[in-house]
Structures are given as structure tokens and as C-alpha cells.
Amino acid sequence: MGTQKRYASLDSRTRVPIVATSKYIIVYLIAVVSELIITFAFYDKIPNQIPTHFDALMNPNQFTEKSLSTVLFMPLIQTVMLIIFIVCNEMMKASKIQISSSNPKDSLKINEEVRLTNSKLLFNLFILMQLIFFTVQMMTCFNIRNLRYVMLAILCLTIGYVIVYILMLLKVRKGHSYRIVENKSAWKFGFLYYNKDDVAYIVQKRSGLGYTLNFARYQSWLITLAFILLMLVIVFLGNKFS
């Protein structure tokens, strides 16, 4: 049996193409600062009972008392989401770069293209979510019923964008001969990656669409625990302010 060759690009890690973190912060600041300015400029116009839950057609069906904490709930959630998105974006940069021994240049190129496409998707989804949060803030605080149509339009746009994104990634992958070299025994139940011999804790999914964690590494468990805690905080805050 021949020895399998491995290739490494010394500058591949430093030139990993992802959306800059500063862009996330700028979008977040524009959305949240705008919300806060409008909310407190017209605070006396906010009704004493503000909606906290909507049905499928964006009609309010649950209400709570107006307070400083309730009108600041949405900006708080946006802050948590900013942290989550930035961490996910940086995780893409830290994920393992797989280079094929048979075609190293092509495999490195597709790694960069897929990584950049994923990063752009994440950023565009972040923009759409900030628009959703901004619209919800205006709907809940000022009872502007016509905004429900804007909300439905943004949700449809988000779903459509995800579909387009998946098609874009598939097109990028089909345009190259490179295929992911995988250790099938490391994929438990077909979707959980557990490989003690792999030093990377973030790897590409078997489908090539997105990334997953190597649960043989302690960093993966810390990341999972951190996300679980964040979700619990969001649920706790939602129950407290609703």
C-alpha cells in the first residue's frame, strides 16, 4: 500500500475569506440605535398594554404591561444574536481546511469559495434578522398593524434566500473536481462527527453545506454548552418579559 500524501498551504489560514466582524457590529448598531431612538422619543405614545406574541398572520394574541424592561427586550435579544452570529462566523475561519493530495490547488480554491459563501449567507441572514427584530419592535411598541405585511414579506425573503444559498453552494461544489475526504467511521449515526485522531474541532459537514463540531475535542463541548446556556437565557428572558 502506498503512503497517503498530505499537503499544507502555509498562508491558507491567514487568507481565509469571511465577512469582517466589524460589518456585523455596524449593522447591529444601525438597527438597535434606531430602535432605541424611536422607542424613547415616542415612549409616551406606547400603549399601556403591548403585544408579546403573534399568530401565524402576525395578529397579536398575548399582551403585557408596558415597562422599561419590556420595551428593551428586543434590543437585548438582538445583542445576544450578535454574539451568536459573530462566534459562528469566526468558527468558519477556525474550521479545518481540507486539501486534496490529487488536486491541492483546486481543493484549496473550493474550500475558500464554500467558506466565503457560507460566511456571506450568515451575514445576510443577520441583516434579515435585524430587520425582523426592528419590525417586531415597532409592531409591539406602536401597534402599527400594517407592519405585519412587512414582517411576512421579510420572512418569505429569508426562506427564499436560504433556498438560493443552498443552490449556490451546490453549484460551487459541482464546478470543481474536489470531493471531501472523509473517515466514514468517524461519523456516528451518520451526522455526529467524533474523531480522536483529528485535531480540528470544527469540520465541514458531510454534505459540504455548513460546518459541524468534532465531539472528540473538548472545545466542541464548551461551544455546545455555551450555546445551550445562551438559549436558556433567551427563554428565561422571554418568559420574564412576557
pLDDT at 13 over 70: no
Q: What is the mean pLDDT of residues 135-160?
A: 84
Residue 141 to residues 10, 136, 175, Cα–Cα distance (Å): 53, 8, 49
**What confidence score (pLDDT) does residue 4 get?**
45
Q: Closest by alpha carbon to 190, among 210, 205, 174, 209?
A: 205
pLDDT category of residue 239 using cuts at 50, 70 and 90: low
More confident residue, 175 or 140: 140
* CA–CA distance, 205 with 193 (Å, rounded to integer): 9
- The pTM score is 0.73
Q: What is the mean pLDDT of residues 225-231?
A: 84
Contact, 147 vs 134, CB < 8 A?
Answer: no
How many CA atoms lie less than 13 Å away from 207 in the CB half-sphere? 12
More confident residue, 14 or 62: 62
* Amino acid present at 106: D
* CA–CA distance, 182 with 51 (Å, rounded to integer): 49
pLDDT at 26 over 90: yes
**What confidence score (pLDDT) does residue 40 get?**
92
Segment 91-121, tens digit of pLDDT = 877 777 666 666 667 667 777 777 787 888 8
Contact, 61 vs 52, CB < 8 A?
Answer: no
* CA–CA distance, 57 with 232 (Å, rounded to integer): 27
Average pLDDT of the chain to the nearest whole number: 78
Segment 162-183, tens digit of pLDDT = 888 778 777 766 655 445 555 6
* CA–CA distance, 59 with 145 (Å, rounded to integer): 8
* CA–CA distance, 119 with 138 (Å, rounded to integer): 29
Output the nine-digit C-alpha cell for 150.
412587512
**What confidence score (pLDDT) does residue 178 get?**
47
Instruction: For the chain, give every domain's residue range.
Output: 21-182
More confident residue, 38 or 8: 38
The three-state (H, E, C) secondary structure of the chain, written as one string: CCCCCCCCCCCCCCCCCCCCHHHHHHHHHHHHHHHHHHHHHCHHHCCCEEEEEECCCCCEEEEEECCHHHHCHHHHHHHHHHHHHHHHHHHHHHCCCCCCCCCHHHHHHHHHHHHHHHHHHHHHHHHHHHHHHHHHHHHHHHCCCCHHHHHHHHHHHHHHHHHHHHHHHHHHHHCCCCCCCCCHHHEECCCEECCCCCCCCEEECCCCCCEEEECCCHHHHHHHHHHHHHHHHHHHHHHHHC
